[in-house]
Amino acid sequence: MVIEISEVASPIGKIVVAVRAGRLCALAFDDSWPRKRAALERRFGDVEWRRAKDPGGVARALRRYFDGDIDALARIDVDPGGTPFQRAVWTRLRNVPAGRTVSYGELARAAGYPRAVRAVGAANGSNPVGLVIPCHRVIGSSGKLVGYGGGLHRKRWLLSHEGSGAPAP
């Protein structure tokens, strides 16, 4: 199985993307790429890694996003894997528009699991294609920034970039 990878410079650090059959299967900031790569090898088995300039158009879409087209990521095809529950949460999360935030409780209700707030949080934390499945748009019920694998400084930057403001940490 071939997975194409590319690196994209961004204002909040280098991003590595992995695309299989034209669909984004992983996105990570450079410092967490080794863990994402290992997860892809567990998921897909024997992987042939190939460098590519713009696999699946993802690098171009990321550049457009960071240049101000905050809706550019919505058009990226994804293959995040995951359980049926995780996919249900990620599908609902992908419907949260740029410039908006949602609490874990609101996301749990939207996904059809109103009592599974912690499980929704865990699904959010295991999202393999952050930014594109916009886990940075989930905030605590108090309106404060909580949890983000890329660090709260990046989450704050992303929310500000999208025009939703950055709640207090």
Give me the phi and psi of 4, to 5 degrees please.
-90, 140
The tens digit of pLDDT for each residue in 62-108 reads 999 999 999 999 999 999 999 999 999 999 999 999 999 999 999 99
Q: Where are the alpha helices (DSSP H) in 67-168?
A: 84-94, 104-110, 117-125, 152-161
Close Cβ partners of 20 (under 8 Å, ≥ 6 residues apart): 1, 2, 3, 4, 44, 79
Helical packing angle, 117-125 and 84-94, nearest 10°: 80
User: pTM to 2 decimals?
Assistant: 0.92
Return d(Cα 37, Cα 157) in angstroms, integer.
25
Q: What is the CATH number of the domain that holds 135?
A: 1.10.10.10
The pLDDT of 140-160, averaged and rounded, is: 88
The tens digit of pLDDT for each residue in 128-137 reads 999 999 999 9
In the listed set 75, 106, 139, which residue is the last one of a domain according to the structure?
75
In the listed set 48, 75, 102, which residue is the last one of a domain according to the structure?
75
Within a domain: 41: yes
Structure confidence at residue 146 (pLDDT): 84
Active site residues: 135
| Domain boundaries, position 41 | 2-75
Tally of structural domains, the chain: 2
In the listed set 24, 48, 75, which residue is the last one of a domain according to the structure?
75
